Amino acid sequence: MVVVIHSLKYMLPILSSIFFLLAGSVAGAEGDVRVSRDRTMYLKHNGGPFSHYLELRGDGSYRRVVRGHLYLEERDRGKWQQNKVRKLLLRSDEHFRNISSGDLLISMWQRDRLKTLPDIRQRIQDFLNANPAQEFPAGDVEHISETGVSVDSQAKSSDIIVLGSKRVNRSDLEKLLVAIDRFLPSGEKNLFALVPLEYKTATIFVDDDRAQLTKSIITGELAGSSTPVQGAEKYGYREIDAAQFDKEVKEPRPVLEVNQQQKQAGQD
């Protein structure tokens, strides 16, 4: 009996590690939320200085709204449905989905980029042909193709975005070429997918091109953080009630209008 107790004493750290791994496997796991057509569902994603809202209506239509400090703007609308693996599918009337591979992303939100996509593809191919290395600094990849910002012809914006990584694998760039080749002839360029992920006791919906990155972030955070469940919306869309949606999605008064009213009040 003494031997058994002694053995268990040294097994405790091992058992603790196993428990941690099991808990970690649940963190960021894909959720099983069924979205009902019997009511309107409201979702919020807290993206730093901007808040993003998704309104899923019972008639199958949706709209995305972005709220900043001094403005409110509807960014997208279309039709939605949920597939068998619980992903939310948004078929946009206005925008194209992104092209992604690993930590690499090409934003196609502005449809005009479709015209430049063959050129971006060729630049990636030329970069790979000129550089035989198996990995590259993120900055080098982002400089492969840059577009002038419309408000300033001297300012450049990277066409290829590197997410959460300082080094880029050659295989990810090669897969990005394949993703572009699939995207160009696709008839579903406007189809967005949101993946349900478990976050503590909440379920969040994350764009599929960011799902793997978000899973790793959540797993790392839950390993040593006490962030409350309410913090889930910083990683993806989290459900909110109608009262909160109505309160937050209101047209803010522009600064100019407020200043004019203050001046008039002073003159009176």
Q: What's the pLDDT score for residue 251?
A: 60
d(CA 204, CA 198): 6
Q: Residues near 133 by Cβ (< 8 Å), separated by ≥ 6? A: 170
Q: Mean pLDDT, to the nearest integer, of 60-72?
A: 91
Q: What's the pLDDT score for residue 6?
A: 36
State which of 46-55, 86-95, 194-203 shows the largest mean pLDDT. 86-95
Q: What's the pLDDT score for residue 36?
A: 84
pLDDT band at 12 (very low <50, low <70, confident <90, very high): very low
Please give the class, per CATH, of domain 25-95+196-248. Answer: mainly beta
Asked whether the CA dihedral 216, 51, 86, 31 is positive or negative, the reply is positive
Look at phi and psi of residue 87 and say left if phi exceeds 0, alpha if psi is from -120 to 50, else beta: beta
Q: Mean pLDDT, to the nearest integer, of 228-257?
A: 74
d(CA 204, CA 190): 22
Query: Which carries the bigger pLDDT value, residue 12 or residue 168?
Result: 168
Q: Mean pLDDT, to the nearest integer, of 188-215?
A: 88
Q: Which of 59-63, 117-121, 217-221, 244-248 has the lowest mean pLDDT?
A: 217-221
Tell me how crowded residue 191 is: count the other CB atoms within 10 A of its CB.
14
CA distances to 10, 116, 245 from 156, in Å: 58, 15, 36
Write down the residue that tokens 């091109």 correspond to.
209
d(CA 117, CA 112): 9
Residue 235 has pLDDT above 80, yes or no: no
Mean pLDDT of the chain: 80
Domain locations in the chain as residue ranges = 25-95+196-248, 99-183
pLDDT band at 252 (very low <50, low <70, confident <90, very high): low
Q: What's the pLDDT score for residue 233?
A: 66
d(CA 110, CA 122): 20
Residue pLDDT, tens place only, 151-173: 555 667 899 999 877 899 999 99
d(CA 19, CA 25): 10
Q: Mean pLDDT, to the nearest integer, of 201-213?
A: 85
What percentage of the chain reaches a pLDDT higher than 90? 50
pLDDT band at 145 (very low <50, low <70, confident <90, very high): very high
Closest CA to 138 of 114, 91, 173: 173
pLDDT band at 23 (very low <50, low <70, confident <90, very high): very low
Q: What's the pLDDT score for residue 217?
A: 80
Q: Mean pLDDT, to the nearest integer, of 15-35?
A: 50
d(CA 37, CA 125): 45
